[in-house]
Amino acid sequence: MKKIAFVIAAAIASLSSAQAQTQASAANPLRFVVGAGLTAGGDKLATAEYSNGGSIDVRAGGMLAFLAGVDYRVNQQFSFQGTVGFHVDQASAKNGDVTFKRFPIEVLAYFHPSDKMRVGGGVRYASSPKLNGDGFGAGVYQEFDNTVGAVIEGEYFFSPNVGLKLRYVKEEYESSYVYRRQTFTEKTKGDHVGIFGNFYF
């Protein structure tokens, strides 16, 4: 009987939590979101060699990302999110650094199989992608064209205000250069995976 009572109590608690999240979303369908995450992947853009023999690569899919935007719950099953962000990978030392940075804009749509989970995807516009260096990396400089990519992700909500999401982004950067009066295009894959923590308010 104690086990049955425990199972019933757990089910009631879970149902109450789900109802609370649903009621919170219905009462406030438009919310702000801020988040940060780690990403990995993409082609190697540069390598920083250190005096102790170590090295670190700067990649087109790394490494730190920050976002801010709005999240809109259409109904119990669907929602949308629009964000702007800053995405950067860097190899740094006391005497300089090499940095690849871009400013992504994303518009995503989600399906909610439950009140604690959603899956979805959308488009990502990476603006002003640039690789440059200072100090030991002063000779490194490359600008890329703005690019449009695709996003697939899933998010789990620990509470109505805190979510953890896993994602995959497929994108490709292009840059042009002139050699002997001919223009050539170089393509760089920025495909990456990431894990983000989001806060909604």
Question: What range defines the domain where residue 107 resides?
Answer: 29-200
Q: Assess if residue 47 is contained within a domain.
A: yes
Q: Assess if residue 191 is contained within a domain.
A: yes
pLDDT tens across 80-111, in order?
999 999 999 999 877 788 999 999 999 999 99
Find, among 94, 87, 93, the residue nearest to 47 by Cα.
93
Q: What angle do CA 151, 153, 158 make, to 5 degrees?
A: 145
pLDDT tens across 32-49, in order?
999 999 999 999 998 887
**62-79: average pLDDT:** 97
Residue 178 pLDDT: 62
The number of angstroms, rounded, from the C-alpha of 107 to the middle of its chain's C-alpha atoms is: 12
Residue 98 pLDDT: 93
pLDDT tens across 151-174, in order?
999 999 999 999 999 999 999 999
Kindly indicate the confidence band of residue 71, based on its pLDDT and cuts at 50, 70 and 90: very high
User: Is this structure's pTM higher than 0.95?
Assistant: no
CATH of the domain at 143: 2.40.160.20
For 23, 133, 159, 174, 190, the CA distances from 58, given in Å and listed in that order, are 45, 11, 35, 17, 11
Total domains in the chain come to: 1
